[in-house]
Amino acid sequence: MKSLSALAFTLLLTSLSMAADLPRATPESQGVDSAVIQAFVQTEDQQIHTLHSVMILRHGKVVAEGWWQPEAADKQHILWSLSKSFTSTAVGLAVAEGKLSIDDPVLKFFPNEAPANPSSNLQAMKVRDLLTMTTGHETEPKRPEEGKWVEAFLNHPVPFEPGTHFLYNSQATYMQSAIVQKVTGQTVLDYLRTRLFEPLGIENPVWGTSPDGITLGGYGLHVRTEDIAKFGQLLLQKGKWQGRQLVPAAWIEQATSKQVSNDANKKSTVDWKQGYGFQFWQCTHGAYRGDGKDGQFCIVLPQYDAVVIMTAHNNKMQDQLALVWEKLLAAFHDKPLPENPTAQASLKETLQHLTAHPAPAPEKK
C-alpha cells in the first residue's frame, strides 16, 4: 500500500497532467451540432490541400479534434506568422511590468545601431507602429546573412510617416522581439516560458533565433495544435487562466481590436482587409485571428464563445477560412442540444481517419 506522501505525490502528478490538457466534451453538450462539424471537416478535407489538424473549442472545452495522417496530436507544427501573436503578447507583458511603453520611440532602445543621421520619420517611429505594421516602410527590410538585423532595419528607408501606411512586415515583429530582449535581458522564448508557456502547460516550445541570438519573433515558433488552442482560449478569456490573470485583460482587448485600417476602399469582404490590431488580424463575423503562411489559424469567435484552430500546408488561405464561416458557424447554438450518439459516432469516425492529400501539381502554362 502506498504511503500517504507517495499517494499525495501521485495525485499531484495526475492533477498536473490533467491540468495540462484542455477539458473535452461532446459537441451537443456545448450547444454544437456534430453533423454540422462533420460536414465542415469533410468539406475542408475535399477542398483544401492539405490540412494537417483541426480543433474546435466551445465554452472552453474541446468538442472536436482531428489530425490528417501522418500528423498527430503530439507533433509540434510550425506556426509561421502565427508566431507574431505570441511576440506581441510578450510586448504586452513587458509593458505591464513597466519595462517599456508602446509610445516609446524605437530608436530609444538601439542608440548604437542607429544611423548617424536618422530621418525624421525614423525618429518618429514608435513601438506602437511596430505592433500595427505601420512603420512607414515601403518595402520590408532585409535580413542580412551575417546578422545585424536590427541595424539593417534602422538603416532601411522610411518614406512614409509612421502610423499612416500599412505594410505587412515580419522584421517589424523581429524588432519587437529585440526590444523585449533589450529591456528584460531574456529572449522572447525564455521570457514567455515562465509567464505564458508553462502556466498554459505548453511543453518544450521551439523557436529559432537570428544570427544575433534574438528570437525570430515574426515566424519560427513550433508548438502542438492543442497548445495553439490554449493560447486562443486564453485570448477568449481576456488573459485569465485557471483563476490567474496571465496577461492583462486591457492588453488583450487592445491587441485584438482594430487599430489600423488596411483597406483603402473600406468595402472589402476579404478577411485580410478587415483591419489589424497588435499582430492580430480582424475577421468578418466579429472574429479575430492570428494566422500564418500555409494555413495556420487561431480564430477567436467571441460572440460564439468559441475557438477554431487549423494547421495546414495550403496556399489558398482565404478559401480555407471562408469554409469556417460558410460551413461551421451554423453548428453553434445558444443552448445545449440533445445528445446525438449516432452523429457523434459518425463525426468521431471521420476525425479518426483523416489522411493528408498530396498537394496538387502546379498548372502548366
DSSP of 182-224: HHHSS-HHHHHIIIIIHHHT--S-EE-B-TTS-B--SS-EEE-
In-domain check, residue 13:
no
Instruction: Say if residue 223's pLDDT is above 90.
Output: yes
> Considering the chain, what percentage of its residues have pLDDT values greater than 70?
93
Structural domain tally of the chain? Answer: 2
Global pTM reads: 0.93
Pairing mode, strands 296-301 and 306-312: antiparallel
Residues 70 and 161 in one domain: no
- Return the amino acid letter for 282: Q
d(CA 245, CA 238): 8
In-domain check, residue 19:
no
Residues 184 and 61 in one domain: no
Residues 152 and 84 in one domain: yes
In-domain check, residue 1:
no
Looking up residue 151, the CATH number of its domain turns out to be 3.40.710.10
pLDDT per position as a tens digit, 44-56: 999 998 999 999 9
**Contact call for residues 77 and 297 (beta carbons, < 8 A):** no
Given 177, 203, 223, which residue is the final one in a domain?
223
Residues 215 and 263 in one domain: no
d(CA 144, CA 211): 9
Going by C-alpha positions, the residue among 251, 280, 238, 210 that lies closest to residue 100 is: 251
Instruction: Say if residue 1's pLDDT is above 80.
Output: no
C-beta atoms surrounding 361 within 10 Å: 6
Residues 258 and 203 in one domain: no
Given 190, 223, 256, which residue is the final one in a domain?
223
pLDDT per position as a tens digit, 104-157: 999 999 999 999 999 999 999 999 999 999 999 999 999 999 889 999 999 999
d(CA 7, CA 11): 6
Residue 66, all three cell numbers: 482531428
Residues 239 and 254 in one domain: yes
Instruction: Say if residue 363's pLDDT is above 80.
Output: no
Range of the domain at 158: 78-223
In-domain check, residue 8:
no
d(CA 221, CA 87): 10
Helices (H), 21-164: 34-47, 83-96, 120-124, 127-131, 149-154
Residues 286 and 311 in one domain: yes
Instruction: Say if residue 3's pLDDT is above 60.
Output: no
**Average pLDDT score, the chain:** 93
In-domain check, residue 15:
no
pLDDT per position as a tens digit, 224-268: 999 999 999 999 999 999 999 999 999 999 999 999 999 877 778
Residues 326 and 268 in one domain: yes
Residues 167 and 292 in one domain: no
Residues 121 and 153 in one domain: yes
Residue 364 C-alpha from the chain's centroid: 35
In-domain check, residue 294:
yes
Residues 86 and 178 in one domain: yes
**Contact call for residues 37 and 346 (beta carbons, < 8 A):** no
In-domain check, residue 2:
no
Given 174, 198, 223, which residue is the final one in a domain?
223
In-domain check, residue 10:
no
For 232, residues 6+ apart whose C-beta sits below 8 A from its C-beta are 57, 298, 299, 300, 307, 309
Residues 250 and 327 in one domain: yes
